[in-house]
Amino acid sequence: MPVELIEKKPRSSRPIYLVRKDDLAAAGLDAPTLAWAKANGFDGDAGRTLVVPGADGSVAAALFGVGRMQEGGVLGAGALAKALPGGDWHFAATPANPGLTALAVMLGGYVFTRYGKKPGKEIRLTAPAGVDAAYLRRTAQAAFQVRDLVNTPTNDMGPDELELAVRSLARRHKAKVSVVSGDALLARNFPMIHAVGRASDKAPRLIDMVWGARTAPKVTLVGKGVCFDTGGLDIKPSAGMLLMKKDMGGAANVIGLASMIMASGLKVRLRVLIPAVENAISGNAFRPGDVLSSRKGVTVEIGNTDAEGRLVLADALGLADEEAPDLLIDMATLTGAARVALGPDLPPFYTDDERLAADLATASQKLEDPLWRMPLWRPYDAKLSSKIADMNNVTSDGFAGSITAALFLRRFVEKARSWAHFDIFAWNPSDRPYGPAGGEAQGIRALEHVISQRYG
């Protein structure tokens, strides 16, 4: 981890001063440091870092601007990971939000090194007083795992490798994994997972991981694991395929969330279900106009083969729902409509559980893990009608795509006590203070907080 969080401050550690805009005097700077700041035109602008030299020319301290009202949020402190010289650092005064500030620096230090990029400098940051360092470490590690999984191209992150990632996580936490693969999906009644993935030379599968006591509250996570999406016979244009390695971002995020839950030892019976497929093209690819049966027995007419994620999720949700979990969460890079509505940074979520919605909104704001509730608008349910099957997988008018996708999934959840669907992007289009352009964890910090508050 390029930024290591330590709990005992070394003697060699140098201070980081958090400076509000036009308020240098309040930062507690000594006279030489104050003079250096003024000479360099540093006045606390949000996100700016100024390294302060010592009398012997060494690095003595750093100033970091937070603006007038913590502009850019606490996660803006992640810029320190790139701006600070390597070595040992600590905050000169405890930040207003010490845990989130330290986490921001840790997240900002992420580098994807699998294909030769160098990890860069090593920074050791002393944990501010009163923070739960173990929580911060496992949170950062979960985010890094999500980023690594999403950033890895499909030639190295297909259904086989996604299964291996789940098995590796299970070994660390003594969880159990079972997998239904290939034509066994038909025998075990997962017809839509099979239909979507059968055209690939990588066998489609349903990955099923279970952890925790049988008698504990049941928390089930379902993640869309479409390792690459050509669009199928309704093929995407080439530009539309450039980021399709990230179409397993829902699976990556539930893996990250599961790692946080297990590492913290929450008293839940955790189940993770990942339908892992490639939506490829060959002579046996499913077609527009086909009618597929589902695990629940609901028949689905295919209006578009590029709306495949909801199909594989439907079979997985059907299985999850059979044991009536206390909480059922699904995460998926499901619709472009969600990005049009809310952009890449603000994932919508859907639930008819008012308490869960309120808890998620509170956690989202508290942890700077953006989420926004969208409506399960029942009148739009009729848009999914079909003349020959129980329903269509798309609407005919193209409106409200994220909402109608959520309504599609809602038909496969009947017994769960509480359910929420997250339509995430799982990607930073550009560099952010808390992480570079590329794969991103979205919503899992807020979800972990809500789950721990309910069942911790």
One pLDDT digit (tens) per residue for the chain, 456 residues: 589 999 999 999 999 999 999 899 888 999 999 999 999 999 999 999 999 999 899 999 999 999 987 666 899 999 999 999 999 999 999 999 999 999 999 999 999 999 998 988 999 999 999 999 999 999 999 999 999 999 999 999 999 999 999 999 999 999 999 999 999 999 999 999 999 999 999 999 999 999 999 999 999 999 999 999 999 999 999 999 999 999 999 999 999 999 999 999 999 999 999 999 999 999 999 999 999 999 999 999 999 999 999 999 999 999 999 999 999 999 999 999 999 999 999 999 999 999 999 999 999 999 999 999 999 999 999 999 999 999 999 999 999 999 999 999 999 999 999 999 999 999 999 999 999 999 999 999 999 999 999 998
Q: Quick: pLDDT tens for 163-192.
A: 999 999 999 999 999 999 999 999 999 999
236 is catalytic: yes
82/145 same-domain check: no
Tallying the residues shown for the chain, one arrives at 456
Say if CB 330 and CB 351 are below 8 A apart.
Answer: no
State pTM to two decimals.
0.97
20/154 same-domain check: no
131, 166, 196: which is the final residue of a domain? 131
Assign residue 413 the CATH number of its domain.
3.40.630.10
174/278 same-domain check: yes
Residue-level pLDDT at 24: 92
Overall number of domains in the chain: 2
65/145 same-domain check: no
Instruction: Show the CA angle centred on residue 453, arms to residues 221 and 449, nearest 5°.
Output: 60
Residues 6+ apart with CB under 8 A from 38: 24
189/229 same-domain check: yes
Q: Quick: pLDDT tens for 76-98.
A: 999 999 999 999 999 999 999 99
Residue-level pLDDT at 71: 66
Assign residue 24 the CATH number of its domain.
3.40.220.10
86, 111, 131: which is the final residue of a domain? 131
365/300 same-domain check: yes
Give the range of the structural domain holding residue 115, as residue numbers without chain letter: 3-131
Residues 6+ apart with CB under 8 A from 434: 75, 76, 78, 104, 107, 108
Task: Kindly write down the DSSP assignment for every residue of 290-353, as one continuous string.
Answer: -EEE-TTS-EEE-S-TT--HHHHHHHHHHHHHHT--SEEEEEE---HHHHHHHTTT--EEE-S-
Residue-level pLDDT at 1: 59
Residue-level pLDDT at 421: 99
Question: Which of these, 342, 157, 332, 167, lies nearest to 254 by C-alpha position?
Answer: 332
CA distance 406 to 350: 7
Say if CB 224 and CB 250 are below 8 A apart.
Answer: yes
446/343 same-domain check: yes
Strands 3-6 and 59-67: unpaired
103/148 same-domain check: no
Active-site residue identified among 218, 295, 310, 432: 310
150/229 same-domain check: yes
126/148 same-domain check: no
CB neighbour class for 418 (10 Å; exposed up to 12, middle 13-18, buried from 19):
middle
Residue-level pLDDT at 120: 82
150/96 same-domain check: no
125/155 same-domain check: no
98, 113, 131: which is the final residue of a domain? 131
CA distance 386 to 275: 25
Active-site residue identified among 21, 121, 236, 373: 236
Structure tokens at 342: 């809310």
